[in-house]
Amino acid sequence: MKNQKLKLLVKVGVTVTIFTSAVLISIALWNRYMHSPWTRDGRVRASVINVAPDVSGTVVSMAVHDNQLVHKGDLLFTIDQKRYQLALARAEAHLESRRAEKKIRYQEAERRAELGDEVVSHENKENSRALAETAEALYQEAKAERDLAKLNLKRTEVRSPVEGYITNLAVYAGDFVSAGVARLAVIDKDSFWVYGYFEESKLPLIHLGDPVDIRLLGSKTTLSGHIESLSRGITDRDNPTGRELLADVNPVFNWVRLAQRVPVRVSIDRIPENTPLAAGMTCTLVVIPGQGNPQRLLDAARSSQKKPINPL
């Protein structure tokens, strides 16, 4: 009898222990998945610079290949220069013509200014000065045209505006490119950040400056970052604008509502050298709440304002 009672107590104890452990684990998992600020819906982003030529023409040579790392100012491709060389020669010849005409007009105005009114009328002197000033204006116009022709010739060599990676290269020697039409993309090497799409119910747990663990999909490396900013608006798909410019409200309301996901921008503190990072990669973000440092964000914002803007 005692052995049977002991076995029964052991079974009851084991059952109670397993049940209690299951309840505690369920509560812990529920809190983790429902109340912890984390998401698996994270995407790596970067600044993509669309490089467009400033002049039109036929591409005569390519200086880069797909996925190549280029530095700021490196040559990307060259446009046929013959047309622009001829335009520069014509502008220089026109400038010389205007320079000679200006010299003649000023000499005439000076000679007539030295003569008395009984020889040359006051009206003729004023006309000579006006012609000299007109010649000066035409000379300055020709000079500007010459400078523009020089600039156009220089812009036949398309160079990288930033240090970054060539991606999805689809321009080749022989292609005709038009001014202002982007034909090549460069991903800024120093511009990577992460967008985490958090459920709106978790936003109260997220604060500016909170540390974030960034876990790339398929990689054991964990990057460190911090909350930089929160998006202030997303599209309301249930409230489009009708034909009369009035709100087209959906009359059907689903009682089961999924939490909207709001983009949260996460700045990457440091990228390890051996970690390949590409825009569009998927990652998991785990926010460590309550440890934010807003002063760090303020200092970073001030330092970024002091940095000079890279000219194109």
Q: How confident is the model at residue 3 (pLDDT cuts 50, 70, 90)?
A: confident
Q: What amino acid is encoded at 183 in this protein? A: R
The angle subtended at Cα 191 by Cα 51 and Cα 230, nearest 5°, is 120
Q: What is the mean pLDDT of residues 79-92?
A: 96
Let me know whether 94 and 211 are in one domain. Answer: no
Are 72 and 309 spatial neighbours (Cβ–Cβ below 8 Å)?
no
Q: How confident is the model at residue 312 (pLDDT cuts 50, 70, 90)?
A: very low
Measure the CA–CA gap between 66 and 165, rounded to whole angstroms: 8
Looking at residue 309, its pLDDT comes to 38
Q: Given a cut of 50, is residue 307 above it in pLDDT? A: no
Q: Report the CATH number that the domain containing residue 131 is assigned in CATH.
A: 1.10.287
In a domain, 198, yes or no: yes
Q: Given a cut of 80, is residue 116 above it in pLDDT? A: no
Distances in Å between the Cα of 222 and the Cα atoms of 40, 212, 272, 276, 285 are: 14, 10, 10, 12, 10
| Candidate from 46-55, 198-207, 301-310 with smallest mean pLDDT | 301-310
Q: What is the mean pLDDT of residues 195-220?
A: 90
Let me know whether 199 and 271 are in one domain. Answer: yes
In a domain, 25, yes or no: no
Let me know whether 136 and 261 are in one domain. Answer: no
Are 210 and 289 spatial neighbours (Cβ–Cβ below 8 Å)?
yes
Let me know whether 178 and 289 are in one domain. Answer: no
Q: Given a cut of 90, is residue 109 above it in pLDDT? A: no
Let me know whether 234 and 285 are in one domain. Answer: yes
Let me know whether 146 and 163 are in one domain. Answer: no
The tokens for 151 are: 């600039």
Q: Given a cut of 50, is residue 49 above it in pLDDT? A: yes
- Domain ranges, residue 139: 81-155
Q: Report the CATH number that the domain containing residue 224 is assigned in CATH.
A: 2.40.30.170
Looking at residue 132, its pLDDT comes to 86
Q: Mark which of 130, 155, 180 sits at the end of a domain.
A: 155
Let me know whether 228 and 292 are in one domain. Answer: yes
Looking at residue 310, its pLDDT comes to 40
In a domain, 52, yes or no: yes
Highest mean pLDDT of the ranges 28-32, 115-119, 134-138, 153-157: 153-157
Let me know whether 142 and 227 are in one domain. Answer: no
> Quick one: what percent of the chain has pLDDT higher than 70?
85
pLDDT per position as a tens digit, 189-201? 999 999 999 988 8
The tokens for 280 are: 């569009």
Looking at residue 299, its pLDDT comes to 56
Q: Given a cut of 50, is residue 66 above it in pLDDT? A: yes
Let me know whether 196 and 227 are in one domain. Answer: yes
In a domain, 13, yes or no: no
The tokens for 63 are: 């200086």
Do the bridges between strand 211-216 and strand 38-45 make them parallel or antiparallel, or are there none, so unpaired? unpaired
Classified as helix, coil or strand, 284 is strand
Q: What is the pTM of this model?
A: 0.75
Measure the CA–CA gap between 173 and 260, rounded to whole angstroms: 48
In a domain, 251, yes or no: no
Looking at residue 29, its pLDDT comes to 63
In a domain, 57, yes or no: yes
Let me know whether 103 and 202 are in one domain. Answer: no
The tokens for 242 are: 């009708």
Mean pLDDT of the chain: 84
Q: Report the CATH number that the domain containing residue 169 is assigned in CATH.
A: 2.40.50.100
Let me know whether 58 and 180 are in one domain. Answer: yes
Looking at residue 295, its pLDDT comes to 53
Looking at residue 243, its pLDDT comes to 72
Looking at residue 195, its pLDDT comes to 95
Let me know whether 105 and 183 are in one domain. Answer: no
Looking at residue 120, its pLDDT comes to 64
pLDDT per position as a tens digit, 233-290? 888 777 777 777 787 777 777 777 778 899 999 999 988 888 889 999 999 999 987 6
Looking at residue 123, its pLDDT comes to 64
Q: Given a cut of 90, is residue 45 above it in pLDDT? A: yes
- What's the structural domain count of the chain? 3
| Candidate from 94-103, 204-213, 246-255, 258-267 with smallest mean pLDDT | 246-255
In a domain, 67, yes or no: yes
